[in-house]
Structure 1
Amino acid sequence: MKFLLLATTLTLTLGAQAQRPVYLDETKPVEQRVEDALKRMTLDEKIAVIHAQSKFSSAGVKRLGFTDFWTDDGPHGVRPDVLWDEWEQAGQTNDSCVAFPALTCLAATWNPTMARLYGHSLGEEALYRGKDMILGPGVNIYRTPLGGRNFEYMGEDPYLAGRMVVPYVQGLQANGVAACVKHYALNNDEEYRHQVNVVVSDRALHEIYLPAFKAAVIEGKVWGIMGAYNLYKDQHNCHNAILLNQILKRDWAFDGVVVSDWGGCHDTDQAVRNGLDMEFGTWTDGLTMGKTNAYSSYYLADAYKRAIREGRYTERELDDKVRRVLRLFYRTTMNRQRPIGFLCSEAHYDAARKIGNEGIVLLKNRQNVLPIDTLTARNILVVGENAVKMMTVGGGSSSLKVQRELSPLDGLRATLAPRGVNIVWERGYVGDTNGSFNGVTSGQDLSESRTPDRLVADAVSKARKADYVVFFGGLNKSDYQDCEGHDRKEYGLPYGQDRLIEALAKANRNLIVVNISGNAVAMPWADRVNAIVQGWYLGSETGHCLADVLTGRVNPSGKLPFTWPRTLDDVPAHRLGTYPGTWRPDHKIIDEEYKEGLYVGYRGVDRYKTRPLFAFGHGLSYTSFRISNLRVDKTTMTHDGKLTFTVNVANTGKREGAEVIQLYISDLQSSLPRPVKELKAFMKVSLRPGESRDVTLTIDNAALSFYDDSRGVWTSEPGDFEALVGNTSDKPNLKVRFKLTDGLH
């Protein structure tokens, strides 16, 4: 009897498989499955999948077996779960995560392998948490150091950002979790971000602000793009005809989904016609809370469905959106090959530490103050609120609830206390004592009763007796610092830190300043401090990373992904008076003209001949390198050919270390104005003491091309070019000329 029952069950199962609908048949091509599922869907089901049903989810098609689709904020970790219809935390105990270093730090590694590791590790955490799309990474260009969200992006150079975003996307999506690259495009302001209309030349748009997005789409095959809050040509970018329909979907052949930023949709007709596929976070008017559970009031919900039924639209635009969403489902929720994922694994902590170690930048090291001499040092004074303040809580949508976060102070103690080093902490200044965001609290008591004068005096008194003084200061993730929603109000350090640093420098020559931030800051005391380190926001492994570098366990190899100006007047956007723009008479829109055009960051340094405090690509090491013997495989190149440059790199010091070889191209006879030089290739190479190695860097026609705005095409022109090679943008000392014999028109 048991045998007969088994046989009957097997027959029914095989019969069901033989008659399986195409849309469920994994052996069929995805596009065929998409079309089959689309034909089976009702209008109500089609509308349901293109807008949110909760704060972070959209509906599947339960009748057809498509599960709900869950998004979550990144890009530095998986954000804790919120209530279905509220921003406050859901109060779960299983939604902690590993916080990875901020993307400025990732970019500072100049190592695409680290980007791949980052994306893969984050994807595993997302999988375990049941997330189908991570809202990140961000690749908007660092235009001004006042940008509140710069810490979430990958610096000022489109080539560097493009090389780093592709492996991040690939690593994340290899887990069956969609990346959603943001914020497309021109999202360079947080203050009044819903009202800023960017006025920019076509050349600057295509050469500076779009290439990293293009690389994510064409090379990374990203499955999601998030529209930005701001406007371009008077259309909001979440439904912008030029950016979405023309450039993204037509020119780049993007086959994924365009997701609105939360509250970034403003109009049904524009959302229908101008390329938006999935609407999130709108409420009822696009900007305010509106009524509870208002998802049917979204612009792509009942209003759109009603307009279709009334004949104002056909289902043609709707079907294109639904096709894209179904394709996303098959890549994620319907992907039977997705692994299970891991949460807070030691491998993820190791990845965070490795990325942080490679991204920390040694800006200055006069008299070899660093690394700390652990054999002779017995008393170290640590000063500064940022030595103890948790930095994973706050900053806006990238705020996280971590399983653990090691502070810089505890990291140094863990490393040095076993060696008999006494470490004392003095606060020095009071910054942000709030340790909560959206219901997540750090649990720290940062209250302080001493006056500012007393705090400085106490720190200076102990500094005079210490072998080393390590100051941890900079910015934090509170409003008007490094934080979503607001830009910085000034370039200088907040909370009176300059005064404190000046006093500490007078008290102890072995002062080490560690700046914790995602932005450059003014350093009027830089000439009086022997050692300066850029420490970024390093996430869960902050303390370990900084201790590793400060004590010499790790030799720093990070390079700046942006120019560090001396003053705001050295920044082209401020030099030309274009930031933050001009309000229109009705005070509803602010026009911000990017008058500097192509000349952002180091391109502006070359054009205006300013002298930055630290150049793009700058970063020191505890060893020394010699870069020599630049060669090129041939002196001429055709538009469909390639050139290979070879250079010898030698470690001439006494420590193992890594150097980043940077190749810039200069067009010596262009018909249109071009920057003096532009980064077009780089490679990070690790060498033992005394070791030397040849490094090869290859370019193709894309490295020689510019965007011809008169014809709307990329082009290259025959003529003379120069390749410049070095380890920083202001000193590419090796040069070789070559000729392009036939351009691409």
Structure 2
Amino acid sequence: MKKIFILIGVFNTLFLLKAQNKTDIPVYLDDKQPLELRVQDALQRMTLEEKTRLSYAQSKFSSPGCPRLGIPELWMSDGPHGVRAEINWNDWNYAGWTNDSCTAFPALTCLAASWNPSLAALYGKAIGEEALYRKKDVLLGPGVNIYRTPLNGRNFEYLGEDPYLASEMCVPYIQELQKTGVAACVKHYAINNQEVWRNHIDVQVSDRAMYEIYLPAFKAAVERGGAWSIMGAYNKVRGMHAAHNKLLNNDILKGEWKFDGCVISDWGATHDTYESAMYGLDIEMGSYTNGLTSESEFGYDDYYLGKNYLKMVKEGKIPMDVVNDKAARVLRLIFRTAMNRQKPFGALANEAHEKVAYQIATEGIVLLKNDATKKNTVLLPIASDSYKRILVVGDNATRNLMQGGGSSELKPKKNITPLDGLKKKFGDRIMYTQGYSAGRQMYGRVDEIPQSTIDSLRNDAVEKAMQADLVIFIGGLNKNLYQDCEGTDRLSYELPYCQNELIEALVKVNPNVVAVIISGNAVEMPWVKKVPSIVQSWYLGSINGDALSDVLVGNVNPSGKLPFSYPVKLEDCPAHLYGEMSYPGDSIKQEYKEDILVGYRWYDTKKIKPLFPFGYGLSYTTYKYSKPVLSAKKMNANETLSLSVKVKNTGTLAGKETVQLYIEDEKCYLLRPKKELKGFKKVELQPGEEKEIVFTIQPQHLQFFDDKKHQWIAEPGKFKAYISSSSADISNVVEFEYK
């Protein structure tokens, strides 16, 4: 109905012009005119009421345009792993459509684990086409918050622990998504790294940590990705809510980075009219709810940027230049999306998109361990004729892992489970037993599983394992509350549902165990030395089973690398080492006491050995690196260095290897990490093939942020460049000097 009124507005405008013998199209309607000219033309035609009305919702997932002028509304959809099923206009229930099933793409942790920016581009293009087909203007994603603790319930939606990796992976996603005419809404800005107390926790963080760790991916999204919108987070930063935070929005985002797009609140993240108006919020969504479930008696005009905002403007408490800037940003977003007549055609849940999802999934799966058994047998890849009886154990082998998890929940057209995929390969040789029960999530709680059920399922699995030639355990986390789920953090680092005891029991009766962990987080592995083969899988989406089984049998050689470190125990993680005030806080405030030493920066600098390091991942083949060669031994602020290395596939199978470049500043007047990722390239090699990889070292790769001077500095001195297969590989190193 709303769109009909907008069309009537367009026709009325054109009719009046014709009646006045003015047949020229108004500038704001002419998409051949420069964008800023159109914005200013529309602004000068709008009333104060129309300008302020642009800044708050009209339904759960839309905001209005200006019907009188024929300017359409904005329609938004949750992402970033697929276009969410349709939500009702005025409540959080699903609308029950029969034509809103989507392609479920792998979670962003999987994309990050691929270390392949070209796949990020394919991801953005495909998901943009699906959003376009569903007539969405804004896709709420990608998420680029930094992995600080393995307990964060939303880590599976993000791109890992390193700001450089997150930046390089989010930029092509955003660029290709927006080429479809659908805006990226990069989230959650900023310093939003836990779900517990997310609506009010007040994060105390240094400028150095902000600029070096938590903001670079957002900056890359804006300056290089050209993101058209940003989502303000729920939490507070230094005493002020992030969605209307002067430092984050006015000073950094719109000031230092010159962001010309819209800041859109997370649903229910707005708390004050004056702050929202003055400190950079442009569109308010979902207030007077908890952002997910509960409703209220208030209408949309009661939002903070609703009638109270208009009243404060009329009273002179909000300057008109603030009103005009806010309205201009919304108009800019509308002209780039809803009023963009150059958009391509969309497509939904087609074969091409499934192929993209499959490629991302197979390149993201990480082989963590593949040791020979006592019989000198390597279990992976599984030879098709080696085992007559293969037992698959685990709830995740059959579970729909697109359900739950919060706003990223999807309604996939296709759901190929791991068990489905393995049955395609091995047919009747596959046996299945559940092994453990993860229960169901209902009414804000998770079922408690009786001990008798736990014992019965475990005993059945152990008995069947005795008769099997190979056991494939498929477990990990899921999208239940207190697992990988929005709104809650994990309660423990260990595997839930007594899986550790089950794995120990399985390997005790059958040494031929392959453990497949499906999760968006690191998990404790007390059985790591006993299980010969371990695979880190992720939430792989619609084609989960085909992708995983193809990697397990060797149709695809695994090439994924971890986008975060795997600590041995939770206390090794710096967010937890410093006690409750560091994580999760005291329910009011928390302090990021580890400062810039996040992830591998901490483990390297403090010489703490992780269970599996950042950037780590094995292959079914082997690679050999040559000694790296620098183009020169010295460089200055106006120069760059070239660093080349040859990589050879010394095994018998084709494969892909990710070559990583880390830089160490040997001496600095401020604390610096032992080394930092500053480049990576993924290369495909046939058996015996050798290729040369060339990196360019730029002065910016040597910089750190001096918070007292508030500037980036590259200090003269000696540096080391590491060419490696992970953050723990320090065998190939060369030195150079910066003058």
Residue 392 of structure 1 is matched in structure 2 by 402
Structure-2 separation of matches of 1:133 and 1:17:
34
Q: Is the 1:85–1:292 Cα contact (8 Å) retained in structure 2?
A: no
Q: CA deviation at 1:16?
A: 7.8
- Compared with structure 1, are the counterparts of its residues 649 and 436 closer, same or farther at alpha carbon in structure 2 (3 Å cutoff)? farther
Correspondent of 2:249 among 234, 244, 247: 244
Instruction: Quote the residue 1:547 is aligned against.
Output: 549
Equivalent residue, structure 2, for 1:726:
724
Structure 2 matches for 1:268-667, cutoff 5 A?
268-283=273-288, 289=294, 291-292=296-297, 294-367=299-372, 368-417=378-427, 422-434=429-441, 451-577=453-579, 578-583=581-586, 590-667=588-665
Distance 2:290 2:369 in 1: 50
Q: Which amino acid aligns with 2:457?
A: L
Does the 8 Å CA contact 1:370/1:551 hold for their aligned counterparts? yes
- Post-superposition CA distance 1:142-195 (Å, at most 9, x none): 001000110000000000000000001011001000000000111011011012
Alpha-carbon deviations, 1:706-740, whole Å to 9, x = none?
A: 00101111111111111011101001311111111
Other structure's SS at 2:41 match: helix
Q: What's the secondary structure of 1:44's corresponding residue?
A: helix
Question: What is the CA deviation profile of residues 255-305 of structure 1, one whole-angstrom value per residue up to 9, with x for unaligned ones?
Answer: 000000000000000001101011000027989845356110001010011
Q: Counterpart of 1:178 in structure 2: which amino acid?
A: A
Q: Offset of 1:375 from its aligned partner?
A: 2.0
2:554 alignment partner AA: G
Distance 1:435 1:462, change over 3 A: farther
Looking at structure 1, the residues matched to 42 and 609 of structure 2 have their Cα atoms a distance apart, in angstroms, of 60
Distance 1:572 1:14 in 2: 71
Report the Cα distance in structure 2 between the residues aligned to 1:202 and 1:278, rounded to whole angstroms.
27
Which amino acid is 1:685 matched to? V
Paired residue total: 717
1:33 lines up with 2:38 in the alignment:
yes
Structure 1 residue 415: Cα displacement: 2.2
In structure 1, which of residues 197, 202, 205 is the aligned counterpart of residue 207 of structure 2?
202
The correspondence of residues 142-153 of structure 1 with structure 2, limited to 5 A, is 142-153=147-158
Worse-matched range after superposition: 285-294 or 380-389: 285-294
CA change 1:72–1:509 in 2 (3 A) is same
Q: Which string of whole-angstrom CA distances, capped at 9 and with x for unpartnered residues, describes residues 640-659 of structure 1? A: 32111100000000000000
**Structure 1 residues 571 and 26 mapped into 2: Cα distance closer, same or farther (>3 Å)?**
same
* Structure 2 CA distance for partners of 1:524 and 1:125, relative to 1, 3 Å: same
Q: TM-score, normalised by structure 2?
A: 0.94
Verify the 8 A CA contact 2:634 2:737 in the aligned structure 1. yes
| Contact 1:135/1:180, CA 8 A, preserved across alignment | yes
- Opposite residue 679 of structure 1, the aligned amino acid is L
Q: Is the 8 A contact 1:572 1:604 kept in 2?
A: yes
> 1:500-529: CA deviations, max 9, x gaps?
100111121210000010000000000000
- Flag structure 1 segments of 5+ consecutive residues without an equivalent: 1-8, 439-444, 584-588
Per the alignment, in what secondary structure is the counterpart of residue 349 of structure 2? coil
The 5 Å alignment of 1:153-164 reads 153-164=158-169
Q: Note if contact 1:225-1:257 (Cα within 8 Å) is conserved in structure 2.
A: yes
Asked whether the 8 Å contact 1:393–1:436 carries over to 2, the reply is no
TM-score (structure 1 length as normaliser): 0.94
Q: Please say if 1:735 is aligned against 2:738.
A: no
- CA distance, structure 2, for counterparts of residue 613 and residue 351 of structure 1: 31
Find the residue that maps to 1:634 and give its secondary structure: coil
- Residues 13, 354 of structure 1: CA spacing in aligned structure 2 closer, same or farther, 3 A cutoff? farther
Cα distance 1:287–1:267, how it changes in 2: closer, same or farther (>3 A)?
farther
Deviations 1:72-98 (A, max 9, x none): 100100011111010000111111101
Return the alpha-carbon distance in structure 2 between the equivalents of residues 436 and 97 of structure 1.
26
Identity of aligned residues (%): 53
Cα deviation, residue 44, structure 1:
1.8
Counterpart residue identity of residue 489, structure 2: D
Q: Match of 2:628, SS?
A: strand
Deviation at 1:698, TM superposition (A): 1.3
2:107 to 102, 107, 110: 102
Secondary structure of 1:19's aligned partner: coil
**1:112-127 mapped onto 2 (5 Å cutoff):** 112-127=117-132
- One-letter amino acid of the counterpart of residue 94, structure 1: N
Equivalent of 2:223 in 213, 218, 222: 218
Q: State the Cα deviation string for residues 438-495 of structure 1 (Å, max 9, x = none).
A: 9xxxxxx999997222211211111122121000011110100000000000000111
User: For the Cα contact (< 8 Å) 2:73–2:334, is it kept in 1?
Assistant: no
Q: Residues of 2 paired with 1:254 and 1:107: CA distance?
A: 25
Cα distance between partner residues in 2 of 1:425 and 1:14: 75
**Once the two structures are superposed, what CA deviation does each residue of 1:529-570 show, in whole Å capped at 9, x if it has no partner?**
000001110010100111010010000000000000010111
* More off after superposition, 314-323 vs 15-24: 15-24
| Matched residue type, 2:738 | L
Residue 629 (structure 1) shift:
2.4
Which deviates further from its counterpart, 558-567 or 666-675?
666-675
Find the partner of 1:170 among 175, 193, 206: 175
Residue 714 and residue 390 in structure 1: after superposition, are their counterparts in 2 closer, same or farther (change >3 A)? Answer: same
Q: 8 Å contact 2:439–2:449 — kept in the other structure?
A: no
In structure 1, the residue corresponding to 2:557 is in which secondary structure? Answer: coil
Aligned to 1:63: 68
What are the Cα deviations for residues 577-600 of structure 1, in whole angstroms up to 9, with x where unaligned?
A: 1442443xxxxx611101101111
Q: After TM superposition, list the pairs within 5 Å mapping 1:78-89 onto structure 2.
A: 78-89=83-94
Amino acid at match of 1:387: A
Q: CA, structure 1 residues 641+478, in 2 after alignment: closer, same or farther (shift >3 Å)? A: same
- The aligned counterpart of 1:4 is none
Which one of the candidate residues 677, 700, 721 is aligned to 1:702? 700
For 2:610, the aligned partner's letter is: P
Give the CA deviation at 1:606.
1.4
Aligned equivalents of 1:329, 1:242: Cα separation in 2: 26
In 1: Cα distance, 2:673 partner to 2:557 partner: 33
Find the aligned partners of 1:540 and 1:159 in 2 and give their Cα distance: 29
Contact in 2 for aligned 1:56/1:72 (Cα 8 Å):
yes
SS in 1 for 2:148: coil
Q: CA deviation at 1:18?
A: 4.7
Query: Following the alignment from structure 1 to structure 2, what is the Cα–Cα distance between the partners of residues 623 and 13?
Result: 72
TM-aligned CA deviation for residue 15 of structure 1? 11
Structure-2 change in CA distance of 1:623 and 1:23 (3 Å) = same
**Does the C-alpha gap of structure 1 residues 17 and 610 become closer, same or farther in structure 2, counting only changes over 3 Å?**
farther
Q: CA deviation at 1:673?
A: 1.1
